[in-house]
Structure 1
């Protein structure tokens, strides 16, 4: 993975803890509405709400450690989040002033001030990244039988505890230097005052195309560089005192976004609509109205930004410059209002009574001015340079339909997420082109085998604002606020394999692979297996066997890609790409490996008939819920079908069990 991909992954993971901010914003915003003067001191309900919200803000560093560890883990398992939390506790405890004083044998009052600031978002992100890497590498490790309880995911929090001891000793040496460098960076930005705020906002917009603006935001909002924009703004007694001390500074990196998101972006939308060719205006009007409303009401700008970001990069650069100017003006004039999610009407309504919000109402006339500026500048630039913004490009070059309807939004299944997700799978190049699926607020973040197979035109006809190719394997599709729903539906579709209607019709079926029985016994139909997941073919299609012999063999030539820690099942990928799961018995994982003996290791290349497992049948028949053993093809959806070749008794390594047809 190259550095850009990795940074994108970190930026995506940061959205997990940042997603908690709207809860804090709502709780504290309502509290300040109730008691804007006493900050909760004059009203019990207000105090209750403000303290509830500040509980989130005050522990953002721990949330970053947990959220980043979870977000960057390979399977989004809770054990990864626990690992991040354990690592954070160990590191911050060992690097606390009291611990440093004791370990380094120095008076407490001589401990560098950096260690009193060890619980910050920078450290949280660092711990989260390390925890995720440890989890991804060691969550599948199997220990000797005597220690088998601590194998796999249980091992990772133990490893991170010991690793954080080493990291703590390293941090004791380098953290003061890192902290001083961050503070110096923050001071340099603060010395630039309102100009620094404008520079930040300019780069905030420029980083949106690659999804790294979240990482930049963490520097200016979460005290990573000595800039305490959100904590000072949102509350807590310490924050209140700090806020009073820096009135007009706290919130300077947020306030100027309100005029852009609530007014400037809608002005751009109006200009794009009016510049569209007459026969396209009806279609463009619907798109622009929806995007402008989303920006005004919620502060989500990506649907509109991506409508011109790549077709008219000159406009996007102008947009970034204007955003920087707006943030500069608000900071210079000390017109302050913060937000917990984004700079839309909802956040403005919540925060206008926050005691640190000063002259917030001036952001409205500033916004009206920027509406006019955006409209005039965008309309002039589009017409002057004949930019191909929405509604203009189709009249210039008749777009190819690639066999699909040109107006997918009119389809009767528009609101069917599963149907829409299936079409997006087609646009990405099909099931076999997708390797991983993820999403943030407005975009699908996909890894593919070949980005060249992605059909941009189809994705846009499905409603996407744009398609970004970061490299040959990383693609982002801007789909709006339904991104999470679409991603989830795509994941389910890929897991289940192509639907029957997606498979080629009237294609001669040719046997691709013939599998041998992996164990001697009696054949049982899959729907008779006493486990719903296997019986309903959720895991895959195939047959089952009730074993009468102790040796389990490879059913085909291939590679053993996985043997479960408890040795009750293994996965084999054949030389032709067929993925086979052999699962000995039902609920046998509960036996913790008793009754099973592994005869080969993961990664072994085997020939059909080679022994893989040895069973203690007497023990298993007496203790397992059932020894009916499914043999299934987990990627059966990639093939035309399976044909059973055996009934009754079968002999391991000799009897043909079923064939797979391509």
Structure 2
């Protein structure tokens, strides 16, 4: 897995704990309203609400550990969250000043200041990542029968406890260095004042294209570099009393977003609507109106931003520059307001009574000015450079879009609209055989695929996607708006009903479950082979049509052969890259060095065993040699608990090749016996 892909996972997991902030914002916002409106100096209800909100903010480091461990776990199980919390407790208690004093045999007053700040979101993130990695690797380990109670998920907290002792020992020596570096970075940014806030805002928007803005936000919004802007602002009076909140300063990394999100982007939406072709304005207007209202009311801007991010990148750069200018102006003028979710009307109202909100109402005239600026700049740029923003397509392109939308409205019988739409999204990303993992954040489908080249970007946009981002050969993001999670859930649901074929660029987007037409397997061929697969497991050959699973026997997943295993070792049939190992370790996808895409699926319905009986020997992204062990099976256990151990070995892109030639006899040996030859 690439570093970018891994950071994507971390960024996505960060949204789990960050999603608790709206609760804190609402509780404390209402509490401040009641406190300011009440004639009684110590209103009990106000105190109740603000204290409840502070309970969330005060424990954000622990929430980071819990949320990231859960969010990065392979099966989103509660045991992963518990593991993160246990790891956080072990580290923070071992690195507490009193413990450091005892372990390092130094006076308490000589313990570095860094250990007083050990309960830090940075530590929470570190612990969460470590806990998730341990969970993903050991949550399905089977111990000997005498210790079987501690097998699987029960084993993980034990392992994490010991691991965190090692982590804590290392932190005792390197945490002061890391902490001091982070503080220096924070001080450097803070010394830049309003300019630093503007620079941060510019990169906040630029990085949204690859979803890494969450990592940047953690530095400025939470106590990673000593800034802690959001919690300090929401803390209000308590932050002021503790000296962590400074009137006119705290909130400057948030305030300037309000004029952009509430006013600037709606101005851009108006320009895009007016620049659309006359015959397309009604359609584009409804889309822009909905996106502009979402930006104004809730501060959710991705649907609007992605409508022009890829079709007109120059507009997105202009948008990032204007955002930086807006944040710089608000910080310079000390027009301060903050948010717990995003810079929309709801958060502005909730924060207006916060003691740290200063001249917040001036953000409204600033916003009106930015509405005009965005409108003028966007309109001029679109017309001057003839940018293909929504609605500026040709009549033929719009007619094709209308045909697609009409096909979406005709839902599959017995399915909801989301399920019907999900079926089409699966089709445009290359079908079931190309889709290996489905996930979502607030506005994006985050999909892992065998090959992003098979994703049909144009048809995805015709389905309503604002943008399609290819991160690497196995990762793609589709921006669908706030319904992303619902569509992702629907995609998972329809995937269980049966395989869905890919849609070609010339087809309309209304695929049914179909059999993929694959080349016939023959026993011989005069043509030279592109590549020859070896048997991934020892056993007896079974024709694919005899596999007791319709998805494989119909060759909808791809053409190939099956093996009824007698051995317990599963190896790579070709040299290449392991692009996917399923969370339950029962199957893996391999892309060979020749471009052959292979799925090895051990047994039928073995996913229901939740990984029991399987042990992975390599990780996703590993480069493997032909014959290298990939999985280890407990064949006795699997034969007893699985409906069938007949194991399909299919070439998922078999339609790309002229012929598959069966090279095996009745019995095969893992890593030695030739199995299939691929004829180009």
Q: TM-score range by the shorter chain?
A: 0.7 to 0.9
Q: Deviations over 1:325-353 (max 9, x none)?
A: 11111111111111011001111121111
The one of 555, 569, 572 aligned to 2:564:
555
Whole-angstrom distance in 1 between the partners of 2:585 and 2:470: 36
Counterpart in the other structure of 2:391: 391
Q: Deviations over 1:335-374 (max 9, x none)?
A: 1111011001111121111111111111111100100010
Counterpart in the other structure of 1:530: none
Whole-angstrom distance in 1 between the partners of 2:409 and 2:141: 49
Go from structure 1 to structure 2 and tell me whether the alpha carbon gap of 1:167 and 1:284 turns closer, same or farther (over 3 Å shift).
same
Q: Deviations over 1:449-495 (max 9, x none)?
A: 11011111111111100000011111000000000011111122223
Q: Deviations over 1:80-111 (max 9, x none)?
A: 11111111100010111111111112221221
TM-superposed deviation, 1:570: 11
| 2:412 corresponds to 1:411 | no
Whole-angstrom distance in 2 between the partners of 1:110 and 1:346: 47
Go from structure 1 to structure 2 and tell me whether the alpha carbon gap of 1:560 and 1:493 turns closer, same or farther (over 3 Å shift).
farther
Instruction: Give the secondary-structure state (helix, strand or coil) at the position aligned to 1:202.
Output: helix
Q: Kindly indicate whether the alpha-carbon contact (under 8 Å) linking 2:452 and 2:475 is maintained by their aligned counterparts in 1.
A: yes
Q: Deviations over 1:148-170 (max 9, x none)?
A: 22122211111111111111111
Whole-angstrom distance in 2 between the partners of 1:38 and 1:182: 41
The one of 591, 601, 611 aligned to 1:579:
601
Instruction: Give the secondary-structure state (helix, strand or coil) at the position aligned to 1:338.
Output: coil
TM-superposed deviation, 1:402: 8.6
Counterpart in the other structure of 1:109: 109
Q: Deviations over 1:249-303 (max 9, x none)?
A: 1111001100000000000000011111111111111111111011011101111
| 2:491 corresponds to 1:490 | yes
Q: Kindly indicate whether the alpha-carbon contact (under 8 Å) linking 1:39 and 1:46 is maintained by their aligned counterparts in 2.
A: no
Instruction: Give the secondary-structure state (helix, strand or coil) at the position aligned to 1:250.
Output: coil
Counterpart in the other structure of 1:22: 22
Q: Which runs of 5+ in 2 are unaligned?
A: 502-510, 523-538, 540-547, 555-562, 572-583, 591-597, 619-626, 628-632, 653-666, 668-680
Q: Deviations over 1:564-585 (max 9, x none)?
A: xxxxx9968999857354799x
Q: How does 1:54-65 map to 2 (within 5 A)?
A: 54-65=54-65
Instruction: Give the secondary-structure state (helix, strand or coil) at the position aligned to 1:155.
Output: helix
Instruction: Give the secondary-structure state (helix, strand or coil) at the position aligned to 1:393.
Output: coil
Whole-angstrom distance in 1 between the partners of 2:440 and 2:360: 33
Counterpart in the other structure of 1:503: 513
Whole-angstrom distance in 1 between the partners of 2:372 and 2:65: 43
TM-superposed deviation, 1:172: 0.9
Instruction: Give the secondary-structure state (helix, strand or coil) at the position aligned to 1:143.
Output: coil
Q: Kindly indicate whether the alpha-carbon contact (under 8 Å) linking 2:303 and 2:481 is maintained by their aligned counterparts in 1.
A: yes
Q: Kindly indicate whether the alpha-carbon contact (under 8 Å) linking 1:541 and 1:632 is maintained by their aligned counterparts in 2.
A: no
TM-superposed deviation, 1:73: 1.3
Whole-angstrom distance in 2 between the partners of 1:187 and 1:421: 47
Instruction: Give the secondary-structure state (helix, strand or coil) at the position aligned to 1:306.
Output: helix
Whole-angstrom distance in 2 between the partners of 1:178 and 1:508: 56
TM-superposed deviation, 1:116: 0.4
Q: How does 1:365-380 map to 2 (within 5 A)?
A: 365-380=365-380
Q: How does 1:122-161 map to 2 (within 5 A)?
A: 122-161=122-161
Q: How does 1:122-271 map to 2 (within 5 A)?
A: 122-235=122-235, 238-242=238-242, 246-271=246-271
| 2:450 corresponds to 1:444 | no
Q: Kindly indicate whether the alpha-carbon contact (under 8 Å) linking 2:70 and 2:81 is maintained by their aligned counterparts in 1.
A: yes
TM-superposed deviation, 1:142: 2.3
Instruction: Give the secondary-structure state (helix, strand or coil) at the position aligned to 1:475.
Output: strand
Counterpart in the other structure of 2:361: 361
Counterpart in the other structure of 1:298: 298
Whole-angstrom distance in 1 between the partners of 2:393 and 2:128: 45
TM-superposed deviation, 1:505: 6.5
Instruction: Give the secondary-structure state (helix, strand or coil) at the position aligned to 2:476.
Output: strand
Instruction: Give the secondary-structure state (helix, strand or coil) at the position aligned to 1:497.
Output: coil
Whole-angstrom distance in 2 between the partners of 1:602 and 1:539: 27
Q: Kindly indicate whether the alpha-carbon contact (under 8 Å) linking 1:541 and 1:633 is maintained by their aligned counterparts in 2.
A: no
Q: Kindly indicate whether the alpha-carbon contact (under 8 Å) linking 1:232 and 1:242 is maintained by their aligned counterparts in 2.
A: no
Q: Kindly indicate whether the alpha-carbon contact (under 8 Å) linking 2:236 and 2:356 is maintained by their aligned counterparts in 1.
A: no
Counterpart in the other structure of 2:433: 432
Q: Kindly indicate whether the alpha-carbon contact (under 8 Å) linking 1:303 and 1:479 is maintained by their aligned counterparts in 2.
A: yes
Q: Deviations over 1:312-333 (max 9, x none)?
A: 1111111000000111111111
Q: Kindly indicate whether the alpha-carbon contact (under 8 Å) linking 1:560 and 1:573 is maintained by their aligned counterparts in 2.
A: no
TM-superposed deviation, 1:132: 1.1
Go from structure 1 to structure 2 and tell me whether the alpha carbon gap of 1:278 and 1:157 turns closer, same or farther (over 3 Å shift).
same
Q: Deviations over 1:110-160 (max 9, x none)?
A: 211110001011110011111111112222222222222212221111111
Whole-angstrom distance in 2 between the partners of 1:386 and 1:58: 51
Counterpart in the other structure of 1:13: 13
Q: How does 1:489-638 map to 2 (within 5 A)?
A: 489-498=490-499, 502-504=512-514, 555-556=564-565, 577=599, 579=601, 581=603, 630-631=643-644
Go from structure 1 to structure 2 and tell me whether the alpha carbon gap of 1:239 and 1:289 turns closer, same or farther (over 3 Å shift).
same
| 2:460 corresponds to 1:459 | yes
Q: Kindly indicate whether the alpha-carbon contact (under 8 Å) linking 2:337 and 2:351 is maintained by their aligned counterparts in 1.
A: yes
Counterpart in the other structure of 1:79: 79
Q: Kindly indicate whether the alpha-carbon contact (under 8 Å) linking 1:571 and 1:582 is maintained by their aligned counterparts in 2.
A: no
Whole-angstrom distance in 1 between the partners of 2:246 and 2:320: 27
Whole-angstrom distance in 2 between the partners of 1:22 and 1:436: 29
TM-score by length of 1: 0.79
Go from structure 1 to structure 2 and tell me whether the alpha carbon gap of 1:582 and 1:10 turns closer, same or farther (over 3 Å shift).
closer
Instruction: Give the secondary-structure state (helix, strand or coil) at the position aligned to 1:470.
Output: strand
Whole-angstrom distance in 2 between the partners of 1:288 and 1:96: 52
Whole-angstrom distance in 2 between the partners of 1:178 and 1:506: 55
Q: Deviations over 1:45-97 (max 9, x none)?
A: 11111111111111010000111111111221222111111111000101111
Q: Deviations over 1:553-574 (max 9, x none)?
A: x835787669xxxxxx996899
Q: Kindly indicate whether the alpha-carbon contact (under 8 Å) linking 1:352 and 1:360 is maintained by their aligned counterparts in 2.
A: yes
Whole-angstrom distance in 2 between the partners of 1:377 and 1:293: 20
Counterpart in the other structure of 1:551: none
Counterpart in the other structure of 2:98: 98
Q: Deviations over 1:503-537 (max 9, x none)?
A: 3369799899xxxxx9xxxxxxxxxxxxxxx9xx9
Q: Which runs of 5+ in 1 are unaligned?
A: 513-517, 519-533, 543-553, 563-568, 606-610, 618-626, 640-652, 654-662
Go from structure 1 to structure 2 and tell me whether the alpha carbon gap of 1:146 and 1:310 turns closer, same or farther (over 3 Å shift).
same
Whole-angstrom distance in 1 between the partners of 2:212 and 2:183: 22
TM-superposed deviation, 1:394: 2.9
Q: Deviations over 1:587-646 (max 9, x none)?
A: 999xx99xxxx9x9999x9xxxxx97559x9xxxxxxxxx9973377999999xxxxxxx
Instruction: Give the secondary-structure state (helix, strand or coil) at the position aligned to 1:300.
Output: coil
Counterpart in the other structure of 1:285: 285
Counterpart in the other structure of 1:657: none
